Amino acid sequence: MRGRRWATLTAAALCLLVLTGCSVVVTGLASPARPPATDVATGDVEVVGATDDQVDVLARNALADLETFWAGQFPDVFGTEFQPLQGGYFSVDPGNADPAAYPRGIGCGAAASDVESNAFYCTAPDAPNSDSISYDRSFLTDLGEEFGRFIPALVMAHEFGHAVQARVGAPSASIAVETQADCFAGTWTRWVAEGEAEHSILRTPELDELLRGYLQLRDPVGTSPREQQAHGSYFDRVAAFQEGFDDGAEACRDNFGPDRRFTQQPFTTDREVASGGNAAPDELLQIIGDSLPTAWGQAFDDVFEERFDPPSIEAFDGDAPGCAPDGDLDLVYCADENLVGFDQRDLAAPAYEDLGDFAVATAVALPYGLAVRDQLGLSTDDEDAVRSAVCLSGWYAAQFYAGQVGGEISISPGDVDEGVQFLLAFGNEPSVVPDADLTGFQLVDLFRNGFVEGLDACGLDV
> Under a CB-based contact definition with an 8 Å cutoff, are residues 217 and 19 in contact?
yes
Furthest-apart CA atoms within the chain: distance in Å: 76
Rounded CA gap, 66 and 325, in Å? 50
Residue 220 DSSP class: P
Rounded CA gap, 20 and 217, in Å? 5
Q: Are strands 2-3 and 15-16 parallel, antiparallel or unpaired?
A: unpaired
Domain ranges of the chain: 6-254, 276-458
Interval 168-191: pLDDT, tens: 999 999 999 999 999 999 999 999
Statement: residue 26 has pLDDT above 80: no
pTM over 0.75: yes
Q: How many CB atoms are located within 10 Å of the residue 14 CB? A: 24
Q: Which among 284, 282, 281, 342 is positioned nearest to 311, based on CA atoms?
A: 342
CB burial class (10 A; 0-12, 13-18, 19+) of residue 437?
exposed
Region 377-387: mean pLDDT is 95
pLDDT of the residue at 41: 86
Region 7-11: mean pLDDT is 32
Q: What is the SS3 assignment for 399?
A: helix
| First-last CA distance in the chain | 29
In sequence order, which ranges of 151-227 are alpha helices (DSSP H)?
A: 151-168, 174-193, 206-213
pLDDT of the residue at 299: 97
Rounded CA gap, 390 and 385, in Å? 9
Q: Which amino acid is at 26?
A: V
Statement: residue 259 has pLDDT above 80: yes
Statement: residue 122 has pLDDT above 90: yes
Statement: residue 30 has pLDDT above 60: no
pLDDT of the residue at 36: 63
> Looking at 374-383, 395-404, 427-436, which range is the least confident one?
427-436
Rounded CA gap, 74 and 85, in Å? 14
Q: Which among 307, 274, 421, 281 is positioned nearest to 362, based on CA atoms?
A: 421
pLDDT of the residue at 1: 64
Tell me the backbone φ, ψ of residue 47, rounded to 5 degrees. -120, 110
> Under a CB-based contact definition with an 8 Å cutoff, are residues 22 and 119 in contact?
yes
Average model confidence (pLDDT) for the chain?
Answer: 90
Statement: residue 9 has pLDDT above 70: no
Region 129-158: mean pLDDT is 94
Interval 351-378: pLDDT, tens: 999 999 999 999 999 999 999 999 999 9
Interval 297-351: pLDDT, tens: 999 999 999 999 999 999 999 999 999 988 899 999 999 999 999 999 999 999 9
Q: Answer with the residue of higher pLDDT: 349 or 14.
A: 349
CA 69 vs CA 163, 189, 196: distances in Å: 13, 10, 9
pLDDT of the residue at 435: 74
Q: Which among 23, 18, 14 is positioned nearest to 6, based on CA atoms?
A: 18
Statement: residue 3 has pLDDT above 90: no
Q: What is the SS3 assignment for 376?
A: coil
Residue 84 DSSP class: P
Interval 193-246: pLDDT, tens: 999 999 999 987 787 887 887 777 788 999 999 999 999 999 999 999 999 999
406: Cβ contacts below 8 Å, ≥ 6 apart: 290, 291, 294, 295
